């Protein structure tokens, strides 16, 4: 069973911004607040322990594909650390997007 939380004395301007945000995201105010809290907790988790699953493509022990997220800085650091791995070497052999587009254009 969940816990009920309450925020008192929310400035009216904030409440209106939250209502508009909820409407843009097709959520109730309650649903929008839950999404904000969930996102904040996910960012906190990602900052505390970087998730390698989104970089390596394989979840680490005890993780799912959905767990955590990485900042640009965290992703860059992980990619730099893995440059010598077989996966990184294989990725280096793949064609660049610009080369694929040029080849397709030249076939016409």
| Prediction pTM value | 0.43
Does 87 reside within a domain? yes
Q: Tell me: the pLDDT tens digits for 16-61?
A: 999 999 999 899 999 999 989 988 888 877 766 554 444 555 555 4
Does 47 reside within a domain? yes
Does 46 reside within a domain? yes
Q: Tell me: the pLDDT tens digits for 77-95?
A: 776 666 655 565 566 667 7
Does 62 reside within a domain? no
In this prediction, residue 66 has a pLDDT band, given cuts at 50, 70 and 90, of very low
Nearest-angstrom CA–CA distance, 28 and 18: 10
Does 5 reside within a domain? no
Q: Is 88 exposed, middle or buried (0-12, 13-18, 19+ CB in 10 A)?
A: middle
Lowest mean pLDDT among 1-5, 11-15, 53-57, 92-96: 53-57
Domain extent at residue 85 = 12-55+68-107
Would you call 91 helix, strand, or coil by DSSP?
Answer: helix
């Amino acid at each position: 069973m969940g816990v009920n939380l309450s925020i008192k004395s929310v400035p009216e301007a904030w409440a209106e911004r939250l209502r508009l945000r909820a409407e843009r995201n097709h959520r109730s105010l309650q649903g929008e607040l839950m999404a904000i809290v969930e996102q904040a907790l996910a960012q906190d988790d990602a900052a505390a322990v970087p998730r390698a699953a989104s970089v390596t493509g394989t979840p680490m022990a005890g993780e799912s594909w959905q767990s955590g997220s990485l900042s640009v800085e965290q992703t860059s650091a992980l990619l730099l650390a893995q440059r010598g791995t077989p996966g990184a070497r294989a990725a280096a052999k793949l064609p660049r997007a610009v080369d694929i587009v040029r080849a397709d254009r030249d076939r016409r």
